[in-house]
Structure 1
Amino acid sequence: MAEVKLTAEKRTDFGKGAARRIRRQDKVPCVIYGHGADPRHVSVDGHALLMALRTPNVLINLDIDGKSELVIPKAVQREAIRGFLVHVDLLIVKKGEKVTVEIPIHTEGELAPGGNLLEYILSALPVEAEATHIPEGVTISIEGLEAGHTVHAKDIPLPRGTTLAVDGEDAVLQIVAAQTEPVEEEAAEEEAAPAEAAPAAAPEGEGGG
């Protein structure tokens, strides 16, 4: 996986007011934690961090006062409407150690004919991998799968050095039969049946007077 280099500045002001001031400077407030160290509060250039986070579980080489710290994003908070970064938690990692993360699930191929639907049970796959070799995702072939088929976690090929962090029997994807619209039988019968004859008019002079 690619390693991205970013620069962070220490911050000593906290609270909502301080966070808003940081964001007005096009920076993002972040907290660095892990390995038993006290949490450190920093700010990072907003655009650079946003670009880095386009890669899931990106490995960031963070320069803090001339000292490097390897971190991965652990929690990302975004503004609900416009989607800009509000706050990011960064987890310290060391080369060679294992971390538990969620990686994206991709599919390839076409389902069997019939208009069936692909349903995601898990939107991402929890795995354990070396901190500096986290896979960017996994790819599942759905070629020719028919309704009723379920892909379990154990069925997914994983990169070397990566293991599941969920039960292998957990469902990840399933193929659902397409629902057909019910035939309007009553309407069809009405269209097919001859129109009911209208009552004949009584001849003049007959009928109650």
Structure 2
Amino acid sequence: MTGISLALKPRQVFGNKNKLIRAQGLTPVHIFGHGLKSLALQADTLELESTINRAGSSHLVNIKLDTDKKTRKVFIREIQRNPIKGYLEHVDFYQINLKEKVTAEIPIHFSGESSLLKEKGHKLIAPFTHLTVEALPDDLPPEIHIDLSQFDTLEKDLYIKDIVLPGGAKILNEADLLVAKVSEVHLKVETTVAVNPAEESGEKPIAHIEEKESTEKE
């Protein structure tokens, strides 16, 4: 995977004093992993925000430390923000072993155009926004691409078993689950019937009879 890089530095401030480094435009972070001693570090907040936006939870991040000769390969594991103001409070990174498979939630990305979706009365049915994928870190795709142009008939259904990922990546969701299809939109047409107010209330209509006076001859 091509890289997203972030430079980190050792942190000497902990606990409640972390607000001091936040005031300087820095954010406290931790790196941990299997068999790895947790490292307390700090990052430039603006650079860290950019990294979060680019990497999400499915891209590898190359961490650069002054004390290391090699970069560390990590995923963003947890992001903590202030619940009121929304600023970054803390970020956890998980360092991985490039020779061990990892599992991640990979987003689905639709591209292309469907001739059916250009017509009125059709809509895309897509129950999933992410799929669970297992792969070696370098084989983990950042997105699962689905080309909409393949949906040219209403009979075209795409299931998980139909998706082939590059490398040794494997989707762990059930193979027979529907991923996408184009469906008809059934419009509900309501018919309005005019009702006589008297009939609606259950009252019998009153017949208006014009009576003619009769004159008798004496």
TM-score using structure 1 length: 0.75
Confirm or deny that 1:11 pairs with 2:15.
no
After superposing the two structures, state which structure 1 stretch, 80-89 or 96-105, moved more: 80-89
Compared CA separation, residues 142 and 190, structure 1 to 2 (3 A): same
Aligned to 1:62: 63
Alpha-carbon RMSD:
3.4
Deviations 1:78-134 (A, max 9, x none): 456775434322111233332111222011332634523323322112111221343
Q: Which runs of 5+ in 2 are unaligned?
A: 200-204, 214-218
Note if contact 1:116-1:147 (Cα within 8 Å) is conserved in structure 2. Answer: no
Confirm or deny that 1:156 pairs with 2:163.
yes
Higher share of residues assigned strand = 1
CA distance in 2, matches of 1:170, 1:123: 13
CA distance in 1, matches of 2:62, 2:109: 27
Compared CA separation, residues 119 and 78, structure 1 to 2 (3 A): farther
Note if contact 1:29-1:87 (Cα within 8 Å) is conserved in structure 2. Answer: yes
Note if contact 1:148-1:176 (Cα within 8 Å) is conserved in structure 2. Answer: no
Q: Which runs of 5+ in 1 are unaligned?
A: none
CA distance in 1, matches of 2:102, 2:81: 24
Aligned to 2:216: none
Compared CA separation, residues 2 and 155, structure 1 to 2 (3 A): same
Deviations 1:47-92 (A, max 9, x none): 1122222134332221234213221212334456775434322111
TM-score using structure 2 length: 0.72
Confirm or deny that 1:23 pairs with 2:8.
no
Percent identical among aligned pairs is 28
Count of aligned positions:
199
Compared CA separation, residues 43 and 203, structure 1 to 2 (3 A): farther
Q: Give the number of the structure whose alpha-carbon radius of gyration is greater.
A: 2
